[in-house]
Structure 1
């Protein structure tokens, strides 16, 4: 098993018991570090969703409901308790829903996808346009402008529920990961930072672009975003500041 295959298996089964993966991990310090990072992410994700309700909450709610026939001051006290308990349930449920939404968000899944594709960051030879166009066609998308000259990697990947074209560009020699999701447009353009990765999510005319890099360089992101706007949306030479 080589490093690229290990990272792909790690992304699909981060806690898988495959002996071949264990043997490779014991022999390769880089992949062992990626495995440790993947386990940390899995534990953090499960921990975020594990929200316990206060002890005895159900009993307190039932008690508040059963005291409606008591004197007015007792009724008010227990009604207040019932309202407080209901508020706790709503807040707890809202917190769980928010964490679940974050766990399923494209930027979160993009970062979680990187351990299985980390080897792609080492590739430096520019690609021809044909394999890139074929990957876009496999996702029922098309290039409407010239391919960025510094594209060094392309692969058709499923990132959670998102069907993406995974690319790598190297502006100024530094790798920038690009995930393009056709026919899915994010509401806003935003930046983010997760687990050592800096990212930008960008709505395009025909889909969404997510860029990731392990270095913070706005100039690199700007250059890659502009190049793919031209290639995907066919916007000619318009600058990002004009959009």
Structure 2
């Protein structure tokens, strides 16, 4: 058997005991050495592939699959909760906007509803720490400014009045907070210079294309507040 044929036979079957292979091994030390090396390599490969399977492999795989499924369900649940929260928030904002934009057709009704909605957040006892400069930065949006403080300012924030950007100020009053709104005039809301309900009185003055609305409880001297506004509120030309 020539060398090429011998190598082919050994590669095909390293443990071959055919008469031709045995004869070649016995008569040619080089062929014998080659056959032994290929057989040793074949044994190493077999041993490497012969990995024992752990007894708990099945349970381990099932546990991993369960954990993966659990994590996937948690992610889906989180996404659903986040989506539901977003939808709820959007609905809440929409309802709130609709409530204050379309339920009232007069400045007085709207102002009282706004005060009622936020009354629980303010009282005469809370700290007043808003300086005149901070207030006038906001008033600049309406082309106006205060020349002096009108009293203890509890809050000054932009708000939506009939969907229009407005300024809502809350001052410490005689018995309870006094609310003052600066609202750009809108054709959608009618107004009277005086309005009230069972709890609040309100007065409205109009200047520089804005309504100045003062709302307070029945004991508050609103005319005095209106006079302060006339004396201390200046409008830019």
Q: TM-score range by the shorter chain?
A: 0.3 to 0.5
TM-score norm. by structure 2 comes to: 0.48
TM-score (norm 1): 0.47
Kindly name which structure, 1 or 2, has the bigger radius of gyration based on alpha carbons: 2
